[in-house]
Structures are given as C-alpha cells and as structure tokens.
Structure 1
Amino acid sequence: MPTLIGNEDSFIETLTHLIELDFDAAAAYETAIKRIDDGALGDQLAQFMSDHQRHIQELSSIVRDLGRLPPTETDFKSVLTQGKVIIGNIAGDKGILQAMKSNEDDTNQAYNQALQRTDILPQALPMLERNLADERRHRAWIEQQLTRI
C-alpha cells in the first residue's frame, strides 16, 4: 500500500506520522510473534519490534522538543497491518513473513520519502537515516527467510 508519509505540509507532521507508522509496525510484530511457529523467527521478529519501539521513543523526543505532543498509541491503520498478519497466518510462517514484508515495504517507503524533504531538522537527520537502515535490514532479513522457507 503506497504511503503518503513524507509529503505532509510540515516536517513535524511527517515525524508524527512516522511515529504512528512505527506504532502500527510494532503492533504487527507483536501479532506475528504470537502466531509464528518457528521460535528462531519469533526471536528475530521480537528484535525488530524492539527497533520500532526505539524509533517511537526517539522520534517522540524530537516532537516534544518542538513543543508538540507525539502520538501515544497506534491508530486505525494498525488494524490493516495486524490484519495482514492474521490473514497470512492461514499460510503459516511463510504467510506471516509475507505480511511482515508488506508492512516493512511501507515503512521503508515512508522513511525514504521523509528523507527527501527539504525541511528536515539537522538533529533529526541522523535518526531518520538510522531508522531507514533498520527498516532496510528488517526487510532484507525477511526476504532472506522467505527464500529459505
């Protein structure tokens, strides 16, 4: 699903939407971890969920520094990201991983688009670059597991 994150009117709106997206991703990982059969896969997914939780904390800190209140929970989109995992569960671990890859495609696109903004605050740039590197690592690992299964 294409994302519009990164195309907002202001950079702070982009940060707010990235936080919401990371909440959605963390919720999807939690759903996947509960349903995955392979314990080693579940352990890695738990590490990825932890990355998304760190993204939330770091981005929220910047939003607070800018005088705004960051989101504190997932929004309605989490139903979609979690729903992909629940439906993917029908096909077992491979289906769950395919759903998680789809979710990671969205987060990769969102961070890529956010980094294309011309109004990025200097203190946010290294964090956004690290978060994108995490997202790329998540997607690459999931793709590797899908070819293995």
Structure 2
Amino acid sequence: MVTTIGTSSDMAKLVENFILLEHDAIAAYETTIEKLENPAHKAKIEEFRQDHLRHLSELTALAGRVGANVPGEGDMKELLTTGKIKLADMVGGDGAILKAMATNEVDTITAYEHAVDNAAVPAADKDLFQRGLADERKHKDWMDQAAKAA
C-alpha cells in the first residue's frame, strides 16, 4: 500500500496522521506478540513496540506545540495492519507473521522518509522523524532476517 503520510504541508495535519499511524502500528505489534510462538521473537517485537510508544509520546508532545489533534486510537488502517498478522498466523507460524509485519513496516518507513524530506517540517523537528525512520528501518531489517530464519 502506498502511503501519503508525511507529505502534508500542514504541520498539524502531518502530526495528527503520524499519531494515527503509530496507534495502528502499536495495535499490529500487540497482535503480533499475541500470535508469535517463539519467546525470543516476542521479546524483540515488544522492544520494537516500546519504540512505537516512544514515537507516540514524542509526536503527542509535538502535537501540543503545533496545535494538532491527538487521536486516542488508530483509524481504519488498523484493520489492515492487524488483519495481515491474523491471516499470516493462519497460514504459517512465526515466519509468516514476521513477513506480514515487515510489509507493515514498508509503509511506516515511507511515511518517515516523506517527513524527513518534507520542507514543511521545521528543522527543529526533523530529528524526531529521523529517529523514527532509523527505528523503522531497524525493525524491518530484523523482521526480514528473523522471518527467513523461522
């Protein structure tokens, strides 16, 4: 799925969309932890979920500075992100689940790349999006490797 998150020229809307994205990601991580069998995989995914909780906290603070709405939960995309995980669980265990999660990370990486490159994001706020991008790339790389090994 191609995402436009991170492309808005309205900083408040951009931040609101990232908060929705993070809520959706957290829900997907929670579903993944529930479905995985390998305790080491569960622990790593929990570590990554904590990264997303930090992103959400940082974005919420930024929302206060830019006057953005702070949604308390994700949007309809959550059904897609968690649904992929549930379907993967039916098909093939940890490897399939991690592959499904890695596809979710593609959109999240793209969103953070958009924000890093977006001229509407003030220089003072770029670091938040650069850290998020680094985390998302780390998550996807681990998921790709762990899925192959599972």
TM-score of the alignment, normalized to the shorter chain, above 0.5: yes
- Distance (whole Å) between structure 2 residues aligned to residue 25 and residue 141 of structure 1: 16
Aligned to 2:102: 101
- Distance (whole Å) between structure 2 residues aligned to residue 67 and residue 109 of structure 1: 24
Query: Which whole-Å deviations, capped at 9, do the CAs of 1:48-107 have from their partners, x for residues lacking one?
Result: 111111101101101111233322211111011000000010111111101100111110
- Distance (whole Å) between structure 1 residues aligned to residue 73 and residue 61 of structure 2: 15
Tell me the CA shift for residue 126 of structure 1.
Answer: 0.7
Tell me the CA shift for residue 9 of structure 1.
Answer: 3.7
- Distance (whole Å) between structure 2 residues aligned to residue 72 and residue 122 of structure 1: 27
The reply to whether residue 119 of structure 1 matches residue 111 of structure 2 is no
Map 1:1-149 → 2, pairs under 5 A = 1-90=1-90, 91-149=92-150
Consecutive aligned runs of 4 or more in structure 1 exceeding 4 Å deviation = none
Gaps of 5+ in 1: none
Q: Pick closer, same or farther for the CA change 1:52–1:133 going to 2, 3 Å.
A: same
Moved more, 5-14 or 90-99: 5-14
- Distance (whole Å) between structure 1 residues aligned to residue 25 and residue 46 of structure 2: 12
Contact preservation (8 Å) 2:9, 2:120? no
Q: Secondary structure at the match of 2:52?
A: helix
- Distance (whole Å) between structure 1 residues aligned to residue 105 and residue 69 of structure 2: 26
- Distance (whole Å) between structure 1 residues aligned to residue 112 and residue 70 of structure 2: 17
- Distance (whole Å) between structure 1 residues aligned to residue 84 and residue 139 of structure 2: 17
Q: TM-score, normalised to structure 2's length?
A: 0.95
Moved more, 37-46 or 112-121: 112-121
Contact preservation (8 Å) 2:95, 2:149? no
Q: How many residue pairs are counted as aligned between the two chains?
A: 149
Q: TM-score, normalised to structure 1's length?
A: 0.95
Moved more, 8-17 or 40-49: 8-17
Moved more, 7-16 or 109-118: 7-16
- Distance (whole Å) between structure 2 residues aligned to residue 67 and residue 104 of structure 1: 27
Tell me the CA shift for residue 5 of structure 1.
Answer: 0.9
Indicate the percent of aligned positions where both proteins have the same amino acid.
36
Structure (1/2) with the larger helix percentage: 2
Gaps of 5+ in 2: none
Tell me the CA shift for residue 115 of structure 1.
Answer: 1.2
